[in-house]
């Protein structure tokens, strides 16, 4: 009888410790490519389900990771090159961006965002192109400032 109680006690302890272990698994795993994809997938499933904005609030904050300074720089560049010609923008997009975004912007290679479904402002786009974000490399110094404005404006024309 005593050993039975001990065995039961052990099992209970084991169960409790297992439960405790489970809780220790981090909620926010390291942002690997796979996790990013899953997060994107979850997001799109949720937006298809038409869930309330309250739920997306956290996500929205997460998305706007560009700093105020970066956004201010972006705005300055937009103002400075507001009359930039888009003649070369398609060419720039093909040579610098299509490797991840595809020629039509919807390829999403390397976790890239679908640009045809993008809803972000020009300022946010310019900031991301200029300073980079996540797996997207920064184009500051790689492309000329006016080219960054032109290609960011061109990207908006890819939206459906």
Q: Where do contacts with ligand HEC occur on this chain (CB under 6 A)? A: 96-97, 99-101, 110-113, 115, 118, 120, 125, 128-129, 133-137, 139, 151-152, 155
Tokens 């490519």 -> residue: 33
Q: Does residue 101 contact residue 115 with C-beta atoms inside 8 Å?
A: yes
Residue (7 or 80) nearer to ligand HEC, CB? 80
Residue (55 or 110) nearer to ligand HEC, CB? 110
Measured from the CB of residue 40, what is the shortest distance to ligand HEC in angstroms? 9
Measured from the CB of residue 55, what is the shortest distance to ligand HEC in angstroms? 19
From first CA to last CA, the distance across the chain in angstroms is: 73
CB neighbour list of residue 19: distance below 8 Å, 6 or more residues apart: none
Residue (12 or 99) nearer to ligand HEC, CB? 99
Q: How far is CA 121 from CA 91, 92, 125, 155, in A?
A: 22, 20, 6, 11
Residue (3 or 61) nearer to ligand HEC, CB? 61
Measured from the CB of residue 42, what is the shortest distance to ligand HEC in angstroms? 15
Q: How many CA atoms lie within 13 A of 133 on its CB side?
A: 19
Q: Does residue 39 contact residue 113 with C-beta atoms inside 8 Å?
A: no
Measured from the CB of residue 133, what is the shortest distance to ligand HEC in angstroms? 4
Measured from the CB of residue 7, what is the shortest distance to ligand HEC in angstroms? 52
Closest residue by beta carbon to ligand HEC: 134
């Amino acid at each position: 009888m005593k050993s039975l109680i001990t065995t039961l006690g052990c099992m209970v302890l084991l169960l409790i410790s297992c439960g405790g272990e489970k809780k220790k698994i981090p909620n926010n795993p390291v942002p690997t490519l796979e996790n990013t994809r899953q997060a994107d997938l979850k997001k799109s499933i949720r937006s298809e389900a038409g869930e309330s904005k309250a739920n997306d609030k956290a996500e929205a904050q997460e998305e706007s990771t560009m700093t105020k300074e970066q956004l201010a720089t972006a705005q300055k560049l937009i103002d400075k090159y507001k009359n930039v010609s888009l003649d070369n923008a398609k060419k720039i997009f093909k040579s610098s961006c299509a490797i991840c975004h595809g020629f039509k912007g919807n390829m999403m290679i390397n976790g890239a965002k679908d640009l045809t479904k993008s809803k972000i402002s020009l300022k946010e786009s310019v900031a991301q192109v200029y300073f980079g974000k996540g797996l997207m490399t920064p184009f500051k110094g790689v492309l000329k400032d006016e080219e960054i404005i032109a290609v960011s404006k061109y990207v908006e024309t890819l939206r459906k």
